[in-house]
Structure 1
């Protein structure tokens, strides 16, 4: 069925009448809204809010919930009784979508446990295992702009879905006869049903109790000034309570961004990777003389950090904070003989150098924290390694495996502890980072992220990847390519196939190209190492310029 016919079908159902009327003459918008069913990947759905098969709305939520429900039914009554934990962030319709999911599950006789209030994605991951549930769902689009929402599914181990589980859900979704006739219980019906239980305080307490065990040093400058912002998101309650539990006495909450609002009115993007998101935190920080700024994204799985240096705040990259945390953890306690840290193939090699210093193995995975979680689960069974830390360049970190996804709450607590420990010796995190560079080499990284919206955008990203494969460059910025690794056509270091290309250059610099798995973007990663910061920064700029012709 083509886009126009699908559009007319939705109009006849009297669905989203005003929104559909608003795009009635916009051929491009109708095409983007209806040209496909919103794709379910290994993590779930993510897309723009609005009417249409390629948008996030009540009916696409019911469809994916129906796919999950049918998969659970196939596992039998025990799986149905174990049920599904459901959490949601502060985005538009997140809570509504959470209860829509519970309503579809209940129509199949499946138990659900729904958070009364918005809570972080990592707390959902923790709750799945704590409640021994069969699966978990969190309604979030993470750090995407306000126009987006998403539906992420977690397995019984608290990690994002295995490919087989995801494929099962997709197959069941495809078997649904009509997206308009999916049975569900209304929210009022759920409230009188034993199949939907609301949860909150007990899970908050258990989660924070589990995170208390990551504390490495109870000393340090605990009166150090800290500003925390949840950027209008779900991280507020557990992060503030966690900092108090860790003994911090001078924490300032950024009140303008403590308001839970899906419009994210005080920022352009609710993304702690962006310097703009720290603008108000920096203002408050200077007013209260804070030495450390902490920011979590809307579902609190990513953490951004800024450090006061010579009267100004310096933002740390994900690569830098990861290396600092790893060094702090390994310097605080001796590692077990089989200890290993996990990073992705686009993450800085500085962490690997730090790990090597302490005799700790480094294991690389594809981009995406689900691959790090897979390794943790694998090692639980094989005992090949003892997990001590995992991170990726995109501001995601994990130290305690009671959570099986990146966790900004636990890392906010550990970062504050680390900063307080060094502050007691007169050092900032930037001082410690500089020392790491001087010891291991001046590693620097950069990311070029290009956005291509809609169906034409998908085609553009595909053409970029095809161009690299058909005519791979022999050199970048006069640096010869030593090796090209195509993860789609080769089995590299035992990793699964993926649409990723990595170029290793003669001087050990590297460039990696991949489509984003969660946004309409093509990403170009660059990594270099030289003998000085200036030289590394210059080389980064040269490689950036060399990549412009491919964009």
Structure 2
């Protein structure tokens, strides 16, 4: 398709779009661009097809082959239906689970997805109300479905939407399924049918949401069994204009936290709003995203903020110190707090394993070295963490926890990140801190700080500096990575990585794009290699670890720096120094075109 498209004129591509698209609004978008002779915009919309990968699809909602719209969603669904039918035994009877969030056109996209699968003879387990993303993979496992699709763009800005695919094991797809589905999409581009109401007419459709939700809360209830909040506990919750509030209220009740008594919500952000009217980016990680929640908490005398992103698969928390200043916990801090709490409270005889992604803190590795439980590192993304957890469970391990620094957390009984479950487990963590750590008249902030200090003093002082550069053109990202790889070239064509960053020696180097690992005898990495994604990890003087990667869902080059030293202050200093060295020697924003956020 790509090579054929490159040979066509923009008018031929526009005619092809018009012939396939049955949505009058998006047909008019292309017609208006043609009428205005806006060739540049037509090229952006039509020349390249939206790429299907391990994150499924994600793009701006506009007309065009490169965007999210009725046609591209229907094409993706037809290709997915054919691939699943050919690949999964008894797939039609097992069926597909389909859910959607509150974004513009999410309901339409979900109904078109159902339409494609119904037409191909699939049973469709259709979630007919707004759901948070974790319910789809949970539903796939609980119902024994062949696959699942969630229509969401997670924490992307309002103009975006996405199409997230889960395999029959309840995990996001990994190779080779992503490539197989992409090929199948290209082979099934002509719409078979275009009937958004078919989901309301077909006998192949069932609506099991209430049953799945009850099963889901049974799993969550088992995780907090025997724990009850202090009646005096109060916290502010924000779903960030998303779908999380009703799910969070029911989850909090499992541990005795009642809405408007213990749990309060930010009124302006409580209800689903696809335009995300009070935040520029609806991501709790972004600077300022929790400002309104903190301001509301200040007014009510509350010192704890809990937050989900709009599709509630991620979780963040902030605590107010005795000095009146708010401290938002990083994704790594939350991850190691959860891991420490789970290790301390798991039965001693448990054969446990815990996981984190390669961009996440190395505290968990240090903890496993000292405490003796099994630890593994995976590639970034819960598609890898979830699938590896299933592998370990088949080997006889219990996997009570896995995390990645991008505020994603997975707990026992689930195989994808879940922000509602993480919120519930954080409340349970606070209950444990109150009993095990807090003294009289101590605040949650003091308890968390004491717990973190206990962790660092035992396993090492780790401090991170994680951020990103905006890269508006994939070619810029590729050029930056290429310049890093060629800083120390070899005349014989051997892989030669940089030997220094600033005044620190590179003591370890791994390139998961080209497939090189300096620590293995044959220099072949132990983790999967992907030429379609950029990722390099290195260690400097055994005191700092750096990972850089291109984002698969956003126009970003992500940078993770973590330093370990004898004190928090020293670790923080090393992380800052390494960051500055990387910017000066590797990223060079003024020269490369990378933009600081």
TM-score (norm 2): 0.87
Contact 2:463–2:564 (CA under 8 A) maintained in structure 1: yes
Deviation at 1:387, TM superposition (A): 1.2
Where do 1:13-32 residues align within 5 Å? 16-20=26-30, 21=32, 24-32=36-44
Relative distance call for 1:529 and 1:212 in structure 2 (3 A) is: same
**Equivalent residue for 1:189?**
198
**Equivalent residue for 1:58?**
70
Relative distance call for 1:71 and 1:111 in structure 2 (3 A) is: same
The answer to whether 1:419 aligns with 2:419 is no
In 1: Cα distance, 2:256 partner to 2:229 partner: 10
**Equivalent residue for 1:83?**
95
Contact 2:238–2:265 (CA under 8 A) maintained in structure 1: yes
Aligned partner (choices 350, 355, 362) of residue 368 of structure 2: 355
**Equivalent residue for 1:497?**
529
**Equivalent residue for 2:490?**
none
**Equivalent residue for 2:113?**
101
3-state SS of 2:154 partner: coil
Deviation at 1:255, TM superposition (A): 1.8
Structure 2 portions without partners, runs of 5+: 488-496, 518-523, 588-597
In 2: Cα distance, 1:336 partner to 1:8 partner: 66
Contact 1:224–1:291 (CA under 8 A) maintained in structure 2: no
Relative distance call for 1:242 and 1:220 in structure 2 (3 A) is: closer
In 2: Cα distance, 1:325 partner to 1:378 partner: 22
3-state SS of 1:47 partner: strand
**Equivalent residue for 2:312?**
300
Deviation at 1:271, TM superposition (A): 0.4
Contact 1:502–1:512 (CA under 8 A) maintained in structure 2: yes
Deviation at 1:22, TM superposition (A): 5.2
Structure 1 portions without partners, runs of 5+: none
**Equivalent residue for 1:525?**
560
Deviation at 1:508, TM superposition (A): 2.6
Aligned partner (choices 2, 6, 10) of residue 17 of structure 2: 10
Contact 2:111–2:197 (CA under 8 A) maintained in structure 1: no
Further displaced range: 118-127 or 68-77? 68-77
In 2: Cα distance, 1:356 partner to 1:88 partner: 41
Deviation at 1:99, TM superposition (A): 0.6
Relative distance call for 1:146 and 1:336 in structure 2 (3 A) is: farther
Deviation at 1:75, TM superposition (A): 4.9
Contact 2:512–2:535 (CA under 8 A) maintained in structure 1: yes
Deviation at 1:38, TM superposition (A): 0.7
Relative distance call for 1:440 and 1:380 in structure 2 (3 A) is: closer
3-state SS of 1:364 partner: strand
In 1: Cα distance, 2:16 partner to 2:167 partner: 35
Deviation at 1:361, TM superposition (A): 2.0
3-state SS of 1:36 partner: coil
**Equivalent residue for 1:536?**
571
**Equivalent residue for 1:487?**
512
CA deviation string 1:140-189 (max 9, x = no partner): 1111111211111111110011313222211211112xx4x412352333
Relative distance call for 1:83 and 1:473 in structure 2 (3 A) is: same
In 2: Cα distance, 1:233 partner to 1:50 partner: 22
Deviation at 1:39, TM superposition (A): 0.6
The answer to whether 1:130 aligns with 2:142 is yes
Relative distance call for 1:289 and 1:217 in structure 2 (3 A) is: farther
3-state SS of 1:39 partner: coil
3-state SS of 2:462 partner: strand
3-state SS of 2:170 partner: coil
Relative distance call for 1:223 and 1:184 in structure 2 (3 A) is: farther
Contact 2:33–2:39 (CA under 8 A) maintained in structure 1: no
CA deviation string 1:437-495 (max 9, x = no partner): 23332211122312223xxx011111111111111433223112112211222365521
Aligned partner (choices 365, 382, 385) of residue 395 of structure 2: 382
In 2: Cα distance, 1:363 partner to 1:458 partner: 31
3-state SS of 1:306 partner: strand
Relative distance call for 1:96 and 1:3 in structure 2 (3 A) is: farther
**Equivalent residue for 1:262?**
274
Aligned length: 543
Contact 1:129–1:158 (CA under 8 A) maintained in structure 2: yes
In 1: Cα distance, 2:557 partner to 2:510 partner: 17
The answer to whether 1:408 aligns with 2:387 is no
In 2: Cα distance, 1:262 partner to 1:279 partner: 19
In 2: Cα distance, 1:142 partner to 1:321 partner: 20
Relative distance call for 1:47 and 1:3 in structure 2 (3 A) is: farther
Further displaced range: 109-118 or 55-64? 109-118
3-state SS of 1:68 partner: helix
Tell me which stretches of 4 or more aligned residues in structure 1 moved more than 6 Å.
none
Where do 1:446-465 residues align within 5 Å? 446-453=465-472, 457-465=473-481
CA deviation string 1:288-340 (max 9, x = no partner): 22232111111111101111212222100110000001111111233445321
Further displaced range: 278-287 or 499-508? 499-508
Aligned partner (choices 81, 86, 94) of residue 74 of structure 1: 86
In 2: Cα distance, 1:422 partner to 1:370 partner: 31
3-state SS of 1:161 partner: coil
3-state SS of 2:389 partner: helix
CA deviation string 1:68-119 (max 9, x = no partner): 1112332588311211000111211111101110011111121111112111
Relative distance call for 1:371 and 1:336 in structure 2 (3 A) is: farther
Aligned partner (choices 291, 312, 320) of residue 333 of structure 2: 320
The answer to whether 1:364 aligns with 2:389 is no
**Equivalent residue for 2:210?**
201
Query: Superposition RMSD on alpha carbons, in Å?
Result: 2.0
Contact 1:327–1:355 (CA under 8 A) maintained in structure 2: no
3-state SS of 2:164 partner: strand
Relative distance call for 1:69 and 1:448 in structure 2 (3 A) is: same
Contact 2:229–2:255 (CA under 8 A) maintained in structure 1: no
In 2: Cα distance, 1:199 partner to 1:115 partner: 7
In 1: Cα distance, 2:371 partner to 2:566 partner: 22
